[in-house]
Amino acid sequence: MNAQWSEELDEADAGRVRELLLAARAADGRPEDVEPPSGGLHLLVREGGELVGHTHLDTAGDSFGRQVAELVVHPGHRRRGHGTAMAQALLARDGELRVWAHGDHPGAAKIASKLGMQRARELLVLSAEVEGQDWPEPKLADGVSLRTFEPGRDEQAVIAVNARAFDWHPEQGAFSVDELVATERESWFDAAGFFVAERDGEVIGFHWTKVHPPNPTRFDGEPVGEVYVVGVDPGAQGGGLGKALTLAGLRYLRERGLRRVILYVEGDNAPAVAVYTKLGFQRYEVDVQYSR
């Protein structure tokens, strides 16, 4: 086995990583994105000249400065020690990092146990079938209005609310204006499904929806909508704005003809889980972060 760290992937290796990720998605349903991640460091593991494992280490870290890694072993080369070897290589670089196990893969749990790592975070994937759901028209407090996002106008205001609403969140809290503008160029971006709440001309909340293309190994191979981000300014919380924004997005996704909507929520956020459960969502799967 040959393992090598690299700061950048050349075109050939990027293609090999893409093929590996496609093979993993065919077996596991994950990862959602099969394009090789940019930035950070890559660990490529080869056996007999064939790429059998890939690790990406986000050296910039999350909102709290913790480096975060994801590792994938080709389905045809599992249970041969490659995953353990990559995890050991990661811990040798930074013993405080976090490592994702998407879908709570049992193989990842075995490796974590072997290396003395514990579940540090659970990110729940909740799912609701659209048919039969009673998602009423949102009710807004007096003085609050709802409209759709306007590119070129709303970025700074939305990010300001996002920063205040998610100052506790490992990823979302560090989302920037530049990243939002870059996302607006993605093929899936839809301003008509991005709702903004205002009071006295000031943005106080938003709900950004997303539509995922069909994945043959997940959600019956159909496109699904997502409650992507719901953010409410702390000064506007407690008046039902979060629920109203959520309903606006859910009704929009239903109008698009989607049969299923998903969302991600922290496993320890009991109030949010309770709200989504009342809206018809149930646990579908879980992503786990392991750490020492």
Annotated binding site: 35, 71-73, 79-84, 171, 210, 226, 230-232, 237-243, 264
Helix axes 241-255, 270-278, angle to 10 degrees: 50
Annotated binding site for acetyl-CoA: 71-73, 79-84, 230-232, 237-243
Structure tokens at 90: 């990661």
Task: State the burial class of residue 225 (Cβ atoms within 10 Å of its Cβ: 0-12, 13-18, 19+).
Answer: buried
SS3 192: helix
Q: H or E segment at 246?
A: helix 241-255
The CA distance from 83 to 72, in Å, is 7
Indicate left, alpha or beta for 142 from its phi (over 0: left) and psi (-120 to 50: alpha).
beta
The CA distance from 173 to 231, in Å, is 11
The CA distance from 119 to 291, in Å, is 7
- CB 52 within 8 Å of CB 77: yes
- CB 261 within 8 Å of CB 245: no
What is the CA angle 268-274-275, rounded to 5?
120
User: Which residues contact residue 192 at a Cβ distance below 8 angstroms, ignoring those fewer than 6 apart?
Assistant: 148, 252
Characterize 60-85 residue by residue with b for buried, 16 or more Cβ atoms within 10 angstroms of its Cβ, and e for exposed.
Answer: ebbbeebbbbbbbbbeebbeeebbbb
